[in-house]
Amino acid sequence: MLRQASQLLRLETRGKGLYEFTREASRWVAETGMAEGLLTLFCRHSSASLLIQENAAPAVKRDLARFFEDLVPEQAGYEHDDEGPDDMPAHIRTALTGVSLQIPLIGGALMLGTWQGLYLFEHRRAPHRREVALHLIGA
């Protein structure tokens, strides 16, 4: 019989960067007792996003961060700058990387590949409390 479970995960960020939460998400999935299903992660913000990326080499995280700094610079004459120069770039970086992710759960394991980790991508300079909604449907 199929069923569903949901949870709000709270993550504290300390400024721009990638924060891994693979362990927290996996632990919650295990607690539901389901072995087959679909896990959804949803970031409830417009200035932080979700990313599945390589979790082995720390240099990958630095190169990713640098790429997005260059692609969406803080100084670009944005019309919207109510909350400072990192505000509008944060919205654009969120648009480019997305706030919704799904991972199948098969045979008791999330289908993340060997090198894939789950990350919250904080795009603001200041520390923030971020909420990621978790939803699992399956059996």
Residue 99 Cβ vs a copy of itself, minimum distance, rounded to whole Å: 5
Among positive and negative, which fits the CA dihedral 34, 22, 132, 106? negative
- Positions touching a copy of itself (CB under 8 A) are 2-4, 6, 8, 36-38, 40, 42, 44-47, 51-54, 57, 59-60, 62-64, 67, 71-72, 76, 78-80, 82, 88, 91-92, 94-104, 106, 111-113, 115-116, 131, 133-135, 137-139
Nearest CB to a copy of itself, comparing residues 12 and 100 = 100
Q: Please report, for residues 2, 22, 49, 138, the alpha-carbon distance to residue 52 in angstroms, rounded to integers and kept in the order given.
A: 27, 9, 10, 22
Phi and psi dihedrals of 41, rounded to 5?
Answer: -120, 130
Residue 74 tokens, joined: 């803080």
Task: Between 26 and 53, name the residue whose CB sits nearer to a copy of itself.
Answer: 53
* Nearest distance, CB of residue 67 and a copy of itself, angstroms: 5
Residue closer to a copy of itself, measured from CB, 87 or 125: 87
CB of 22 to a copy of itself, least distance (A): 13
Least distance from C-beta 27 to a copy of itself, angstroms? 18
Which are the contacts of 115, defined by CB distance < 8 A and separation ≥ 6?
Answer: 54, 55, 56
Compute the Cα dihedral for 96, 49, 92, 123 and give only its sign.
Answer: negative
